[in-house]
């Protein structure tokens, strides 16, 4: 699988942004282990392991995984990895029930129907279905964030509800980079052109609430955006948010 890895090193350790052509994840690597942020589709479990090896780590070193949100393309790989490796999975308190699959707040065949005729949407579906896009397995023992300062990389959660009701972003790399999940992305196979943007209403639980949450991201001093979809984006978060809001 084609993995694009961007690495930053600072006081809190090394931060690795892993981008694929469908979804991204982040590795926070420190002397006391690894924190993962998201884990791709179910079919990405081996790619997550490969990305850890490429940065000189191993899945046995994962101490915890954090979810930006509990959609299958962010959670599914973690479900598979948990079958082999022991680590805790944490989410925002408002996202935990979603991660446990007490309910599912995700686009489905009916909600996708209005756009499913578009060639780029069909191409995207043909890529994600083999990765396990329809898998509904959850993580029954996901729990609310503990004090994240004690985890490798010391990520700082930033509430960003809207895409899902308990979506979270994270400041990483000592505040240099913002992991924005699906609150703010830089490209998506179903849209054009690339650039900072929000996912469309088909994919977003509460678009107005998501737009309001972008102010929490714009208020950070991060200079690098590590989104859930699309490549990294360099610049001020205020600029990224303004560009996304201007697209509507
Ligand atoms: Zn999502």
Distance 33 CA to ligand 1 centre (A): 27
Give 221 Cα–ligand 1 centroid separation in angstroms: 24
- Cα 104 to middle of ligand 1, angstroms: 11
135-151 confidence digits (pLDDT tens): 999 999 999 999 999 99
User: pLDDT tens for residues 44-74?
Assistant: 999 999 999 999 999 999 999 999 999 999 9
Q: Work out the burial of residue 118: count CB atoms within 10 Å of its CB; fewer than 13 is exposed, 13-18 middle, 19 or more buried.
A: exposed
Rounded to the nearest angstrom, the distance between the alpha carbon of 164 and the centre of ligand 1 is: 7
Question: How many Cα neighbours within 13 Å face the side chain of 117?
Answer: 1
Gap from CA of 181 to ligand 1 centroid (Å):
7
Å from CA of 128 to ligand 1 middle: 13
* Res 74: pLDDT: 98
Dihedral over Cα of 191, 193, 196, 201: its sign: negative
Across the range 220-233, mean pLDDT stands at: 98
CATH number for position 139: 3.60.15.10
Domain span at 76: 4-247
Distance in Å, CA 167 to ligand 1 centroid: 9
Strand 156-159 with 233-234, pairing: unpaired
Q: How far apart are CA 7 and CA 55, in angstroms?
A: 9
Non-local (6+) Cβ contacts of 243 within 8 A are 195, 196, 197
Number of domains in the chain: 1
Which two structure tokens, joined as six digits, stand for 102?
């007490």
Residue 7 has pLDDT above 90, yes or no: yes
pLDDT tens per residue, range 84-94: 999 999 999 99
Run of H or E residues at 95: none
Confidence (pLDDT) at 116: 85
Query: How far does residue 87's CA lie from ligand 1's centre (Å)?
Result: 22
Task: Band the pLDDT of 1: cuts 50, 70, 90.
Answer: confident
């Amino acid at each position: 699988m084609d993995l694009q890895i961007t690495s930053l090193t600072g006081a809190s350790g090394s931060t690795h942004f892993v981008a694929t052509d469908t979804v991204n994840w982040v590795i926070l690597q420190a002397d006391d282990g690894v924190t993962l942020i998201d884990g791709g589709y179910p079919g990405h479990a081996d790619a997550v392991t490969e990305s850890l090896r490429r940065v000189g780590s191993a899945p046995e070193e994962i101490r915890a995984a954090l979810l930006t949100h509990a959609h299958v393309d962010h959670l599914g790989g973690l479900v598979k990895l948990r079958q082999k490796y022991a680590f805790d999975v944490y989410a925002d308190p408002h996202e935990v029930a979603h991660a446990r699959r007490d309910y599912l707040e995700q686009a489905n065949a009916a909600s996708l129907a209005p756009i499913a005729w578009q060639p780029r949407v069909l191409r995207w579906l043909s890529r994600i279905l083999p990765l396990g896009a329809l898998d509904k397995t959850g993580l029954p023992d996901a729990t609310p964030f503990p004090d994240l300062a004690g985890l490798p990389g010391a990520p700082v959660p930033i509430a960003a509800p809207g895409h899902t009701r308990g979506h979270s972003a994270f400041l990483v790399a000592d505040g240099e980079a913002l992991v924005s999940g699906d609150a703010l992305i830089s490209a998506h196979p179903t849209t054009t052109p690339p650039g900072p943007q929000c996912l469309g209403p088909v994919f977003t639980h509460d678009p107005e609430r998501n737009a309001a949450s972008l102010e929490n991201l714009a208020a950070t001093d991060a200079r690098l955006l590590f989104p859930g979809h699309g490549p990294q984006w360099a610049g001020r978060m205020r600029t990224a948010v303004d560009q996304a809001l201007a697209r509507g």
